Amino acid sequence: MTQRAAALLATLSLLACGATDRPSEGATGADSGSPRTAAPAGATRGAPGIGDPDFPLDGNGGYDVAHYALKIGYVPESKHLDGEATIRATATQSLSRFNLDLRGFEVSGVSVDGAAAAFSREGDELSVTPARPLARGAAFAVKVTYSGVPRPVRGSSNLGSYGFIPTGDGAFVACEPNGARTWFPANDHPADKATFDFEITVPAGVTVLANGELVSREPAAGGGTTFTWRESHPMVTYLATATMGEFQLREGRTPGGIRNLAAVDPRFAGELGDLYTRSGQITDHWVTVFGPYPFSSTGGVVDDFSAGYALENQTKPMYGGFRPDQSIIAHELAHQWFGNSLSIERWEDLWLNEGFATYAEWLWTEHTGGDTADERFRAGHDRPAGDPIWSYPPGDARPDDLFNESVYLRGAMTLHALREKIGDDTFFRLLKTWTAEHEHGSVTTEEFTALAERLSGKQLDSLFDAWLFQPRRPAA
């Protein structure tokens, strides 16, 4: 994620604060149909959160999702969404009941393995009681049918507006940190990655851009067009997108042979060629620095919704209402390795995404003849002792201020300090080893520091402690 125009965002957030933004309380599904099957001894309720202390109700406990199959119909004119989500998962404990995260919508039915299940709603929690408890280790499929007008998150202290955001010609869909629930029921936390199928029907003339590859594009039975996209690599929920509207497309391959798709709203028609060429060139360069490209395609999308930020949606970074410069493209594409292939398990480790992507901006600028990474580091370190980045330790990203500048800048400076300490050869070997050892997996700061110590043979506790965890400026 990259924020632009922070002042504008702040203004928008203030304006939005008065908006009604309370979680829905309407329990649309009654518990009255609740099966009376007694749970076997030991079957318990899955936790309403996945265990991230900073976001206690994000994600859920008791199961692990393998795949989301999302069938969605959306009409931009009425902003009405009809959804049917089938989620394949495995129970990690014996489960009498479990939760999904879903914000708004009317839920008209839930089934587990084909049998109607009882359900109830409270805030963003959709609680599901299967007709029969699920045994630990059992694979199951839960299907949720829902509809309504999506309610994106607005005025948050983190990203301003995010989630499924209706636009004049479709929708802008960017969900970090927890906006997947604004368009489908999910285990909405990056600790649970899954593959995705998207089958999305829209009126004629609307293009749908979801993650991964386009499988088919066909006339829908009731009119309009159905776009089927498939992301066959594991993905965290906040990277899922189905951005839709009027788009101009350019498709092909990067010089290095990776599939490349650029798409722009007609308002940005003049940027299409540049976006396509730059995205391809930068992706190919990152392959030489970070290792093999982890996904089946690269590219980018410029929509006309003025989000004020870019988000690294898997395979399709999205730029919200502005012309992306090389630096932002370099940032979002670096995230395909750092954040997307290697995902954080807890939000406090966000510097593993943003510090790396910011450092990638420096590497790209240096590669193209601009300031060197060392110059960028010095400029950062020259900030006065009272600068806010020194009092915000980036290794403990705060839940109400996740995207603080420190997580980006001081995170990148951490990597540069490490590079100086262990030398270029070891540092760049570390980056490639890191991406290879954890490809399509989940990572923690402890795992990164342990690998840096293993490859360098150096004791690095004090370096990481000073840069990531102390509320003061480290010595350079």
Binding site residues, Zn ion, CB under 5 A: 1, 354, 357
Nearer to Zn ion, 94 or 314 (CB): 314
Nearer to Zn ion, 2 or 161 (CB): 2
Residue 245: closest CA among 208, 293, 290, 217: 208
DSSP reduced 3-state for 443: strand
Distance of closest approach, residue 354 Cβ to Zn ion, in angstroms: 5
Provide the residue type at 310 as one letter: A
Nearer to Zn ion, 348 or 354 (CB): 354
Give yes or no for a contact between 396 and 352, defined as CB atoms under 8 angstroms apart. Answer: no
Distance of closest approach, residue 66 Cβ to Zn ion, in angstroms: 27
Distance of closest approach, residue 243 Cβ to Zn ion, in angstroms: 18
Cα-based angle 331, 391, 359 (whole degrees, multiple of 5): 20
Nearer to Zn ion, 129 or 343 (CB): 343
Distance of closest approach, residue 136 Cβ to Zn ion, in angstroms: 37
CA distance 465 to 471: 10
Nearer to Zn ion, 442 or 456 (CB): 442
CA distance 144 to 70: 10
Distance of closest approach, residue 331 Cβ to Zn ion, in angstroms: 6
Distance of closest approach, residue 161 Cβ to Zn ion, in angstroms: 17
Nearer to Zn ion, 65 or 389 (CB): 389
Please give the biggest Cα pair distance in the chain.
70
Nearer to Zn ion, 1 or 206 (CB): 1
Distance of closest approach, residue 335 Cβ to Zn ion, in angstroms: 6
CA distance 154 to 135: 39
Distance of closest approach, residue 440 Cβ to Zn ion, in angstroms: 19
Query: Which residue's Cβ has the minimum distance to Zn ion?
Result: 1
Distance of closest approach, residue 17 Cβ to Zn ion, in angstroms: 25
DSSP 28: -
Give yes or no for a contact between 286 and 279, defined as CB atoms under 8 angstroms apart. Answer: no
Nearer to Zn ion, 125 or 354 (CB): 354
Nearer to Zn ion, 126 or 334 (CB): 334
Token couple for 164: 């499924």
Distance of closest approach, residue 344 Cβ to Zn ion, in angstroms: 12
**427 Cβ neighbours under 8 A, 6+ residues apart:** 415, 418, 419
Give yes or no for a contact between 431 and 31, defined as CB atoms under 8 angstroms apart. Answer: no
**331 Cβ neighbours under 8 A, 6+ residues apart:** 2, 310, 312, 357, 358, 360, 361
CA distance 288 to 254: 14
Distance of closest approach, residue 443 Cβ to Zn ion, in angstroms: 16
Nearer to Zn ion, 1 or 208 (CB): 1
Distance of closest approach, residue 380 Cβ to Zn ion, in angstroms: 17
Token couple for 24: 């829905």
Nearer to Zn ion, 146 or 434 (CB): 434
Give yes or no for a contact between 414 and 467, defined as CB atoms under 8 angstroms apart. Answer: yes
Total count of residues recorded for the chain:
476
Task: Name the helix (H) or strand (E) containing 114.
Answer: none
Residue 414: closest CA among 339, 330, 355: 355
Token couple for 352: 């593993």
Nearer to Zn ion, 354 or 447 (CB): 354
Q: What is the DSSP code string of 241-298?
A: -EEEES-EEEEEE-TTS-EEEEEE-GGGGGGHHHHHHHHHHHHHHHHHHH-S--SSEE
Asked if omega into 185 is within 30° of 0 (cis), the reply is no
Give yes or no for a contact between 295 and 279, defined as CB atoms under 8 angstroms apart. Answer: no
| Cα-based distances in Å from 42 to 31, 135, 356 | 22, 10, 43
